[in-house]
A and B are shown apart, each in its own frame.
Chain A
Amino acid sequence: MLILTSFFVIAQTKKADSIPTKIEKYGIRFGADISKLVQSFYDKKYKGIEFVGDYRITKNYYLAGELGNENVTVDDDRLSFTTKGTFLKVGFDYNSYENWLDMKNMLYLGMRYGASTFSQTLNSYKLYNTSTYFPEAPTVISGEKYDGLTSQWIEVVLGLKTEVIKNIYIGFSIRMNRLLTNTKPENFDNLYIPGFNRTYNGDFGIGFNYSVSYFLPLYKTKSIPKSDLKKK
């Protein structure tokens, strides 16, 4: 017993003297976008879910992706429409944050390829008339549905992820989107694309997510500090 404790003391003093070896955990992380869940709860015009996941492949690179579904009704001044569809995004994240000791935070930059298949329903619209001679024509109820629409885009992702409890992470990311292909319905437009969000006159869009995810460690590696490597 005495020998054992003395051995521990020796071991501890030894450890304190040298630079500790860093243990890097590799594994899969999966979760969901909380903002979409919360919005689905309070916003009657929105129903959406987005699952997020990443897999660490090297020290700084992660294979990452999102899979989701949205059902959005937009009531604008001139028209009202409903967009329903599924989206998938795949790409990578590059962690630029140098973690201290056993910290597992991420400040990352990433890219995604996104694709969505969806339908648009034009609920109602108003006819724009610059002449005010006649009273404005009443809102036209349409209900016309445009099926089989697809869009593809590229996203540049900037995000943060931090471990709040062991293996539980919260993250925030903002995305700059640019459309690559977009099949527009005849005599209407894709004013909202699931996964891409609201479209503007050009090809650009903005997205974000606020995720909570669980990290499932699969294996560990010991990274030898650089100063040690130089000695050898």
Chain B
Amino acid sequence: MKKILLLFICIITVSFSSCEKDDICEASTATTPKIVIEFYDFLNPTVKKNVTNLAVKEINSTTSLTYTEISKIKIPLKTNLDLTKYSFILNSTDVAIKNEDFLQFNYSRQTIFVSRACGFKTNFTLDSTLPFIKTETSIPDGYWIRNVVITTSNITTENETHVKIYF
């Protein structure tokens, strides 16, 4: 009788303590991936090349993401539109040599269920015919981005490179 009551109390305790566990979306869970871009030397295409003071800004956004002395960047894509247009400004801190190019990514979106705590995520597939559009800004300063190559068009993880930029 006492043993059963003890078991009873144990079960109740266990039931309450295990309630919260899956209510938080853990950081390690793979959710909406960013697009991974790697920079290579145009003249020596197998060699990675670091960017200097690269400012990346979505054209309607007010804030820009800045990267320097790295060859790999991860930037988000819009989850409520089938395209995201970014401005890539190289040497953004130096007015004399800075150069701005536009790069628009075209894609389709897939909504994937993750879990109760995380909800859903978006995976992207870059358009097979026109995955990106490279355009010049109003100031004709020439392209600093010489070549763009799509290496993986299915953007489902951040563990691989999706786009290679040669400059």
Contacts and interface: CB of A to CB of B under 8 A. Distances in A.
Interface residues of B, number: 37
A176 to B, nearest CB: 6
Interface of A: 76-79, 96-97, 107, 109, 125-131, 133-134, 137-138, 140, 158, 174, 176, 187-189, 191, 200-201, 206
Contacts of B61: 133-134
A128 B33 CA distance: 10
B111 A97 contact: no
Tell me the dominant secondary structure on chain A's binding face.
loop
Contact of A129 (B1, B7, B27, B31): B31
B31 A200 contact: no
Given A107-B1, A133-B63, A127 B120 contact: yes
A125 B120 contact: yes
18 contacts: A76-B117, A78-B117, A78-B118, A109-B4, A125-B111, A126-B119, A127-B120, A128-B25, A128-B114, A128-B119, A130-B27, A130-B32, A131-B76, A140-B120, A187-B111, A189-B115, A191-B116, A201-B22
A142 to B, nearest CB: 9
Interface of B: 1, 4, 7-8, 11-12, 15, 18, 21-23, 25, 27, 31-32, 34, 58, 61, 63, 65, 75-76, 78-80, 111-122
Contact of A174 (B8, B22, B32, B65): B8
B76 A129 contact: yes
A79 B119 contact: yes
Contacts of B76: 129, 131, 133-134
A166 B114 CA distance: 53
Contacts of A134: 58, 61, 76, 78-79
Lowest 6 CB-CB distances: which A-B pairs, in order? A78-B119, A131-B76, A128-B31, A206-B15, A129-B32, A137-B80
B121 A128 contact: yes
A138 to B, nearest CB: 7
Contacts of A138: 80
B65 A133 contact: yes
Contacts of A187: 111-113
